[in-house]
């Protein structure tokens, strides 16, 4: 497992250097908030170049993964997770929902994204996001928060893979920041 993370880090670093060297800056997205069961606004993005269209498509898939994840934690139902997650990321998301369900603790997932594409090819993509987490546990009956808003910045990279025409998150890597 450490070797896989090392290789991913090397690939992301290489992709960043290549993108910078080619004069292309990774497309930044404006901050947006993902709320449980909220429709994704990323799908409406339009671009003029093929490269930007690929980035927009990757970011739309990334946003959709957050929508499905938020819904699963709110309803404590992991059944839709395989539509947007695969591999290790799917296992981790399913495990998280199972733990919340066993404790009877749904969550309201709310984050403010600052996502940008680091790499996109025909089959692989990497999205870096320094999002602000406002997610809280909620009372299963009233839906009201049972804890304060953490209001914390999380540094993360997610690897996505296109399989049968569908982008899915396959790995989530937390970035350590001082």
DSSP string, 153-167: EEEEEEEEEEETTEE
- Whether 145 shows a pLDDT value over 90: the answer reads yes
pLDDT score for 175:
87
Cα–Cα nearest to 173, from 159, 160, 162: 159
pLDDT tens readout for residues 166-176 = 999 999 999 87
Q: How much is the pLDDT for 169? A: 98
Residue 51 clears pLDDT 60, i.e. is over it: no
Rounded average pLDDT over 34-38: 39
Q: Are 66 and 83 in contact (CB under 8 A)?
A: no
Q: Which of 33, 15, 160 is nearest to 88 (CA)?
A: 160
- Average pLDDT of the chain is 80
């Amino acid at each position: 497992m450490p070797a896989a993370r090392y290789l991913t880090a090397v690939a992301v670093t290489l992709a960043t250097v290549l993108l910078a060297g080619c004069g292309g800056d990774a497309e930044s997205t404006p901050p947006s908030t993902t709320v449980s069961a909220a429709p994704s606004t990323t799908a409406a993005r339009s671009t003029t170049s093929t490269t930007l269209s690929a980035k927009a498509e990757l970011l739309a898939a990334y946003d959709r993964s957050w929508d499905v994840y938020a819904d699963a934690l709110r309803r404590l139902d992991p059944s839709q997770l395989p539509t947007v997650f695969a591999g290790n990321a799917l296992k981790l998301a399913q495990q998280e929902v199972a733990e919340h369900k066993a404790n009877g603790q749904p969550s309201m997932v709310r984050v403010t994204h600052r996502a940008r594409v680091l790499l996109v090819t025909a089959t692989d993509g990497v999205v870096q996001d320094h999002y602000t987490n406002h997610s809280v546990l909620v009372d299963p009956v009233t839906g009201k928060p049972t804890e304060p808003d953490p209001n914390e910045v999380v540094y993360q990279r997610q690897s996505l893979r296109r399989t049968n025409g569908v982008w899915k998150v396959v790995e989530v890597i937390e970035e350590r920041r001082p």
